[in-house]
Structure 1
């Protein structure tokens, strides 16, 4: 599924009738009157905007303008997060089922055993400061959740290239060998060693 279309659909589901009416009014100069009259939902409107090439996964300025006019800062920030995450460039493939289980187990152990040094680990994995700051802002008083969301963000960003072994290497690079050993032991207990 196209992540941009999924994002547009989620926006559409959140629009009230009044907001849809406002959006249609704001698009009057861009979309023909007949098409606007037949538009019954946010999805219909987005289809028109996509057809007119006014919005695209790499062209979101007009969409951001529309959302700001509605004063829907929640949606504006979702859109900005989408752009910042480079969601359109995310790898299509996902890790295989075995690697997903390994990653899930590894992330649980790591989050339970790494405290205030979590940012060093996440930086070693290549997650940007901007993404980390957004995650911290979304979870201001919960260190465990900040770390968990940062690791999940890394996993989404890497897609099929995300490996538990990368997480273990990042731990060792940060001199968190005891945690790395604990992860390896947990994977062994769960019969999730590398094939």
Structure 2
């Protein structure tokens, strides 16, 4: 499920009718009158229109920020800021090159197969926030392997092109998971040899 849509859904359920009316009023220059009138209660339809009109997107939240500030919903503004700070908004061109992605994929397979219950320590060492870790655990309550895999993908997404396999190895060693770090290095040897 898209975290941005989840955020918008939580916003829509917390808006009062008068706040929704205010938002519709503020958007009169951007959205046709008929479309705005079709939005009755709850902000779900309103946010759908904003998405369709490309006024907001997961990497384009300034318009939404202004709207929420205008109706004095500081609580929603801070949720939006937290969403942005946690790295949910990222640029597609901020990705590692293909060789680094191949290395990451291989390293992450080894890590998922060899790191057990202590996976949270590793993910914390990589800098992923507790909020994200908890969200991943809730989404995959009985699957340790998937919790770790999702957490590693979250780290990858958050770091973008700064996500390096060397950081994974350093974090493993810092958590005294030297055997896993050695296995990762062994797995990467043939991949690295192919680029020389």
* Contact 1:28/1:36 (<8 A) preserved: no
TM-score normalised to the size of structure 1? 0.65
Q: Is 1:31 matched up with 2:27?
A: yes
Corresponding residue number in structure 1 for 2:77: none
Corresponding residue number in structure 2 for 1:166: 167
Corresponding residue number in structure 2 for 1:149: 150
Uncovered stretches (5+) of structure 2, i.e. residues with no partner:
9-19, 39-44, 72-79
Corresponding residue number in structure 1 for 2:17: none
Corresponding residue number in structure 1 for 2:62: 56
Provide closer, same or farther for how the CA distance between residues 185 and 59 of structure 1 changes in structure 2, counting only shifts above 3 A.
same
Provide closer, same or farther for how the CA distance between residues 141 and 60 of structure 1 changes in structure 2, counting only shifts above 3 A.
farther
SS for the counterpart of 2:192 is coil
Shift of 1:31: 3.0
TM-score normalised to the size of structure 2? 0.64
Uncovered stretches (5+) of structure 1, i.e. residues with no partner:
1-6, 12-23, 66-78
SS for the counterpart of 1:29 is helix
Give, in whole Å, the separation in 2 of the partners of 1:60 and 1:142.
40
Give, in whole Å, the separation in 2 of the partners of 1:164 and 1:124.
14
* Contact 1:91/1:157 (<8 A) preserved: no
Shift of 1:128: 1.1
* Number of matched pairs: 160
Shift of 1:185: 0.8
User: How big is the alpha-carbon RMSD for the aligned residues of Structure 1 and Structure 2?
Assistant: 3.9
Give, in whole Å, the separation in 2 of the partners of 1:157 and 1:164.
14
